[in-house]
Amino acid sequence: MTIQTVATTPFAGQRPGTSGLRKKVAEFLQPGYLENFVQAIFNSVGDCAGQTLVLGGDGRYFNRTAVQVILRMAAAHGYARVLVGRGGILSTPAVSCVIRKHAAAGGIVLSASHNPGGPDGDFGIKYNVGNGGPAPEKITEAIYVATQTIAVYRISDTAAPPLDQLGISQIEQMRVEVIDSVDDYAALMSELFDFAAIKALFAGGFTMRFDGMHAVSGPYAHAILEGMLGAPAGTVINGTPLEDFGGHHPDPNPVNAAELIALMFAPDSPDFGAASDGDADRNMIVGRAMAVTPSDSLAIIAANATVAPGYRAGIAGIARSMPTSTAADRVARALGVPCFETPTGWKYFGNLMDAGMATLCGEESYGTGSNHIREKDGVWAVLFWLNLLAASGKPVDTIVREHWARFGRNYYSRHDYEAVDAHAAEDMMEHLRAQLPELAGQQFDGFSVALADDFVYTDPVDHSVATRQGVRIVMTDGSRIVFRLSGTGTEGATIRLYLEKYEADPARHDIDPQVALAELATIAAGVSQLKARTGREHPTIVT
């Protein structure tokens, strides 16, 4: 069989966003679209000859086809070995785990995360480097540049092997190893957490529902929760990955995981609920009649890290994305460890973890994780909470309330305005930026602005600088209004408005967050002129 060199021409817009290249499936179905991007990856990552690549995705529509094309292209670029998940399935955290465990040069993740799937939905592709994490910006930019000048791609004309059976086959010189999607990942989890204690918890009648949202976490949750930890069958719901996620939006937040929220707020609710997204890197933690905000979850995990065997020695530091609430900063201060504030996107945590500066990382967008891998990790977060519930013997709401009583509560909410006209959204951001020099010192309805800027991050490890990472208006009492545009949306622009207000007094910890944040929301509306500039009356989704 031979390696073909196929002439091609560039496609516009193949620039990776917050997390890889995400586009409508229809765009990916254009002849050469996937091939061009994969060729650009291989052109940008250095010499592939003799290297190992990890490959898998969340099982959404086009996953299998893409895996087969990428295998044939990897063979044409001299890779010695590709580890591919059975059926083409690997969660994003599992890709990261497998890259690290098998010392691969990198990996390709096929997913559009929480975006809907199916022929009318989204598809995505992302390159991860040898530390297991998303490629840093200098590589993603090089990939983009390569897509703009591409003239040929190389592909073997050998058919890709079947993906459904474990085993080894060959394309050209390259070994294709179809591996179990779960095994390596599950082994790592069993080292980090007290599986015996969690097993005893379930054996004692503790009840849980894990909502796989018909996405890729299902097989992992089935194997670990019901298989290794002895949770009764039925603990995992919607646990079979479907190409279109059953037509749902696989995003674990109270709006999209409404089925789980209804279960957890019913009088006969289970003790604990959790959900994960399309590619299993996000998580939502729910107690009886209480959804834990991701920002609180990060802070609570940090405050209790030593309950889990993997973190017994304590944590070196915490990192959170800028819009994430400052609840974790309070814990870091109490622990005497640093808390880093990074731009949105998991790729900014990689250097901090590699340098041993941050052990735990989190984002307000339902992402939590640690230095065990270099991606956020939904099932990891759920297992941490199970470990904490087992060690403390307390229910979720008690743990959360005690945390607030000790550290204060950071009321928090995100308002998303989806599919806004892109020019109108840019115009609103420019309007905000134009006001930044004058905002500090201004008074608004009882709040006084301490700082207003467009967030700039200098990586403390490699000193790379990321600019224009979100407009933040910080009040003297620590309350914050943050505006930024999504880098993962595929339709027009998505405006994200993040609101945060700190409350120390435990007597005031039971207010509806939207009520607690109403004044800040009004100030944000006034300063941004969002309604006038975008024509939007209300957010599309409030979490």
Q: Which residues are catalytic?
A: 113
Contact by Cβ (8 Å): 305, 311: yes
Site for Zn ion in 255-284 (CB under 5 A): 277, 279, 281-282
3-class secondary structure for 368-423?
EEECCCCCCCHHHHHHHHHHHHHHHCCCHHHHHHHHHHHHCEEEEEEEEEEEECHH
- Could you give the CA distance from residue 377 to residue 400 in angstroms, rounded to a whole number? 21
Q: Which residue is nearest to Zn ion (CB)?
A: 113
Q: Which does 18 bind (CB under 5 to 8 A by kind): Zn ion, ligand G1P, none?
A: ligand G1P
Q: Please, which residue, 202 or 349, has the CB nearer to ligand G1P? A: 349
Minimum CB–partner distance for residue 438 and ligand G1P (Å): 27
Q: Which does 371 bind (CB under 5 to 8 A by kind): Zn ion, ligand G1P, none?
A: none
Minimum CB–partner distance for residue 71 and Zn ion (Å): 23
Widest pairwise Cα distance in the chain: 73
Site for Zn ion in 95-154 (CB under 5 A): 113
Minimum CB–partner distance for residue 351 and ligand G1P (Å): 16
The β-bridge partners of 125 are 21, 110
Q: Please, which residue, 14 or 269, has the CB nearer to ligand G1P? A: 14
Q: Residue 460 corresponds to which amino acid?
A: P
Q: Which does 115 bind (CB under 5 to 8 A by kind): ligand G1P, Zn ion, none?
A: none
First to last CA, the chain: 53
Q: Please, which residue, 304 or 368, has the CB nearer to ligand G1P? A: 368
3-class secondary structure for 11-76?
CCCCCCECCEEEEEHHHHCCCCHHHHHHHHHHHHCCCCCCCEEEEEECCCCCHHHHHHHHHHHHHH
User: Left, alpha or beta for 172 (phi > 0: left; psi -120 to 50: alpha)?
Assistant: left
Site for Zn ion in 22-81 (CB under 5 A): none
Q: Please, which residue, 211 or 277, has the CB nearer to ligand G1P? A: 277
Positions that interact with ligand G1P (CB under 6 A) = 18-19, 113, 321, 344-346, 363, 365, 367, 486-489, 496
Q: Please, which residue, 287 or 343, has the CB nearer to ligand G1P? A: 343
Minimum CB–partner distance for residue 189 and Zn ion (Å): 18
- Residue 364: which of 376, 354, 382 has the closest Cα? 376
- Could you give the CA distance from residue 312 to residue 165 in angstroms, rounded to a whole number? 39
Minimum CB–partner distance for residue 475 and ligand G1P (Å): 22
Q: Which does 279 bind (CB under 5 to 8 A by kind): Zn ion, ligand G1P, none?
A: Zn ion
Contact residues: Zn ion, CB under 5 A: 113, 277, 279, 281-282
